[in-house]
Structure 1
Amino acid sequence: MNTAALFNQPTITLKRTVLMSMIAVSLGGISLSTQAQTTAQANQQEIEQLRQEVQALRSMIEQQKAQTQQIATAVQTPVAPLPPVPAKAATSPVMRIASGAEFNLYGNIRADASYQVEGGAKDMPYNQINAVPLEGNGENSDRLRSTLAATRLGMDFKAPVGAGDNALSGKLEVDFLGGANLDNLRIRHAYISYANWLIGQTWSNFALPDYMPETVDALAYAGGAVKRTPQVRHTTTFSPATNLVVAVEDPKDSSIQQRLPALTARLNHKLADNFAVSARAMGHEKRINEQEETAWGVGLGAKYDVMPGTTVKADYYHVKGDSSFVSYANPGVVAAGGNLYQSEFDSITVGLTQQFNDKLRGTLGYGYMTFDQDANYVQSVTDKTKINKDLWQAWANVFYSPTKPLSFGLEYVYGEREAVASASNGSTKGEDNRINAVAVYNF
């Protein structure tokens, strides 16, 4: 038995134990050191994130402070108000039926009044410059007249026709300005249109009111025309700025035996966005007791927007042998001794309209007609005091629209006519001196 080996066994065991403890302690230290380092890194990341959030919050505070300062400066500093934004027009109510047709009803209630200082013989509040009594021959002075006969009711319609996007459209519109006393129901417009064609009654292709200065008077003034005729017409478009309209029309000339319609043509051209012109021509057979003559006429209209809100309109006519298109003309033809004799005239209207604001506008206008003095024509007329050498009228009006459906107008007009022959008291001049007013509710 080895005694030394016995004594050395505990020593070895002890050393081994001590060594293992030291290793364990070392490993534990290493683990703690690693955990501490990881924790420190995590803390450092959180601190950096907090620092970035604080910086972002500080930037937001600075921006809010700057905006608050701008608002305070804007409140303290007066600035020009922004222009009002125009209200969008309300969509018109539309009725639809099963076939797909659409109908839109519209109209107005219109009350007209006129105070006749001097002039008119007829009991109506509208223009009669070509027939006002000559001075000292039964003028109706200091008279008030009123009517609601210009009240109108209308309907626009549109219906799909055939394949694709083709649609047939039209209009039916009536008022109460018919009959001798201007108080009967009458047709203003009644037509259908498809593609480039129109069939029915609407504004004449020759004498239309587009270039006539605005008036309170529903029948316009000397040199103007408010003619609506039954017609068939076709429109040819050459470009977005130019088109040609050709029509055959029934002018309803009761002074003749009509067997052929009138032929009219109108060339429209837009020289610029603010400048449009229209050249027109007319030809018509006049027939009385187997005698025939050809009536003809030309017209030229222009509309020019001088600046936003300021518009100039002018319209000129030269017509021979016709009184059915342009208002207030002498009879176009008269028959005497188996012959027909024709009247001839020139007329012009010109006016300036100013839109003062979205509620108020006004117009200054002037109209003039001069008639050629054909001796045979004059001698063929029985009452020469009813045939005129010259007519003229000047007017000024204002229209006020407090809201979109309502409009009120006030107008002063003065005009004269000079007759071919004098009355029994020697007078050849008739005077028209009036104040007109109108109130309209549109629906």
Structure 2
Amino acid sequence: MKKLILAAACAAVTGTSFAETSTTEQRINVLEAELQRLKQEVSAQKNTNIQLVQQQQQLNTELKSASQKNTGSWTDNVDVYGILRLDGAVDFKDTTAARGRTSNQINKVPFDAAQGKRSDFTIAASRIGMDIKNLAGREDVKAKLEADFWVDNGKGDGKLRIRHAYVSFDDWLFGQTWSLMSNMETMTESIDYTQFLGVSTTRVPQVRRDFNFNAANKLQLALEYASDRSSELPALTAKYIYKNQAVLLMGQGFINEKRAEVNNRDIDKVSWGVGLGARYKFTPKQSVQANYYHVKGNQKFVSYTTQGSSSDGAAMGGDYSVDLNNNSLLLNEFDSLTLGYSHKFNDQWRGNIATSLMKFEDDSAYAKATANVTNNKQLTDHAINLIYTPRPYVDLGVEYHLGERESFEGKTADISRVNLSAQYKF
């Protein structure tokens, strides 16, 4: 019966396509072969369609995954942070010429300031920054960009100031960040935004190379911008750090050319300096810190060293004076020592005590120059602070300073002030 039906169908479909001499059996065989071919083609087409659908689904999945990965990598690789900070100060004795900004500026306290209490507050120390990692898909390529509003000694009024801006990779760093003469690793925590006398927080444009010998020993070398185009070459700086669980030791140094133009010719002289830092932790809650500097002919690297320009041609504010008679530079020279003790009472309360001395060479040609007699001979500062953390990321601090400024000619000015701060870190 099946064969008869196939035969009839074959006759209806093929018409005259078969020869008259073909038998019914032959026609049935041809039709079965054609039917099998059609089935195979339909099956192949069906498989092709299934493959296309699967490929489209896989492509859609990959595109969605790539989109999620790109979005995730951006959020994962960029950490945004910052500080919202209110700083204040109350002066009880002499005050700065700017009438008591929130930073100490003990080196600029006028000798003839009017007596009386004065206060000042600012939010200019607030900052915003971001850390970026895995640049171009490489784990060793990182970058940082950070800014605050500390312009004109805290009178920022919305003006941004770049603090850090650099890219680092393969132990190289290009951009602006802490100078190798800074002592962030061994300084004592301060409420005063500009830190204690004798502390260095200088940030300069630089090219730096790190040598990490092992987990405990590291050497850093850098070429740093150190003056306003007064030198032929940037300053060469170096820092060596040794660190274990309880002890951190640090040695620093720099060498730089100082240059002045006198009578249409340049006068050159070499400035240099060394620094030592140490921190020892008695327990996780108690530590002592010490920092020492000896610097000749440069005020860029250490805070509170600015002397002010002199009438005999000094343009660097205390780096040097110009001896017009001999066409030579008279370099200023100083030593500074800062000692500190830190104690964490519990998770909410901690405190610090610091004492600092900065002594300028008083028998040098610079000190004996007539134009420099009003410049600093010695600065002292003694401070104690208490910091309260009522909630995570919130710090409230108070700090008292008692200090004195003395000039080469023997004039003195006193500091008695309270620094205040409230900050939220995110």
Q: Does TM-score exceed 0.5, indicating one fold? A: yes
Aligned to 1:178: 151
* Equivalent of residue 398 in structure 1, options 381, 386, 393: 386
For residues 369 and 304 of structure 2, the distance between their equivalents in structure 1, rounded to whole angstroms, comes to 19
Q: Give the paired residue count.
A: 336
Aligned to 2:304: 328
CA deviation profile, 1:314-369 (whole Å, cap 9, x unmatched): 11111111111011124121112111000111101110000000111000101111
Residue segments in structure 2 that go unaligned for 5+ positions in a row: 1-67, 308-317
Flag the 1:140–1:105 CA change in 2: closer, same or farther, 3 A. Answer: farther
SS in 1 for 2:392: coil
Aligned to 1:434: 417
CA deviation profile, 1:71-112 (whole Å, cap 9, x unmatched): xxxxxxxxxxxxxxxxxxxxxxxx984594421111111001
1:344-359 to structure 2, matched below 5 A, reads 344-359=333-348
For residues 198 and 261 of structure 1, the distance between their equivalents in structure 2, rounded to whole angstroms, comes to 16
1:187-202 to structure 2, matched below 5 A, reads 187-202=162-177
Flag the 1:294–1:383 CA change in 2: closer, same or farther, 3 A. Answer: closer
Is 1:369 the counterpart of 2:358? The answer is yes
Is 1:239 the counterpart of 2:214? The answer is yes
Contact 2:178–2:202 (CA under 8 A) maintained in structure 1:
yes
Aligned to 2:252: 280
SS in 1 for 2:409: coil
AA aligned opposite 1:305: K
AA aligned opposite 1:438: S
Flag the 1:155–1:376 CA change in 2: closer, same or farther, 3 A. Answer: same
Aligned to 1:211: 186
Normalised to the residue count of structure 2, the TM-score between the two structures is 0.75
- Shift of the alpha carbon at 1:278? 0.6
Contact 1:110–1:148 (CA under 8 A) maintained in structure 2:
yes
Contact 2:147–2:161 (CA under 8 A) maintained in structure 1:
yes
AA aligned opposite 1:384: V
- Shift of the alpha carbon at 1:160? 4.1
Contact 2:124–2:154 (CA under 8 A) maintained in structure 1:
no
Is 1:298 the counterpart of 2:287? The answer is no
Contact 2:122–2:155 (CA under 8 A) maintained in structure 1:
no
Larger Cα-atom Rg:
1
Aligned alpha-carbon RMSD (Å): 1.9
For residues 330 and 91 of structure 2, the distance between their equivalents in structure 1, rounded to whole angstroms, comes to 35
For residues 197 and 140 of structure 1, the distance between their equivalents in structure 2, rounded to whole angstroms, comes to 51
For residues 110 and 276 of structure 1, the distance between their equivalents in structure 2, rounded to whole angstroms, comes to 30
* Equivalent of residue 409 in structure 1, options 397, 401, 404: 397
For residues 429 and 196 of structure 1, the distance between their equivalents in structure 2, rounded to whole angstroms, comes to 47
For residues 196 and 249 of structure 2, the distance between their equivalents in structure 1, rounded to whole angstroms, comes to 21
AA aligned opposite 1:439: A
Contact 2:78–2:132 (CA under 8 A) maintained in structure 1:
yes
Aligned to 1:49: none
SS in 2 for 1:211: coil
AA aligned opposite 1:370: K
For residues 402 and 69 of structure 2, the distance between their equivalents in structure 1, rounded to whole angstroms, comes to 49
For residues 358 and 70 of structure 2, the distance between their equivalents in structure 1, rounded to whole angstroms, comes to 50
Aligned to 2:83: 108
Higher mean C-alpha deviation, range 318-327 or range 171-180: 171-180
- Shift of the alpha carbon at 1:380? 3.7
Aligned to 2:9: none
Aligned to 1:83: none
- Shift of the alpha carbon at 1:128? 0.8
Aligned to 1:32: none
- Shift of the alpha carbon at 1:383? 5.2
Normalised to the residue count of structure 1, the TM-score between the two structures is 0.73
* Equivalent of residue 125 in structure 1, options 102, 106, 109: 102
CA deviation profile, 1:272-317 (whole Å, cap 9, x unmatched): 3110101111100001111011111111100110122001111111
For residues 151 and 438 of structure 1, the distance between their equivalents in structure 2, rounded to whole angstroms, comes to 11
For residues 322 and 383 of structure 1, the distance between their equivalents in structure 2, rounded to whole angstroms, comes to 16
- Shift of the alpha carbon at 1:431? 0.7
Contact 1:173–1:188 (CA under 8 A) maintained in structure 2:
yes
For residues 139 and 441 of structure 1, the distance between their equivalents in structure 2, rounded to whole angstroms, comes to 35
Equivalent pairs: percent with the same residue?
A: 36
1:144-159 to structure 2, matched below 5 A, reads 144-159=119-134
SS in 2 for 1:118: coil
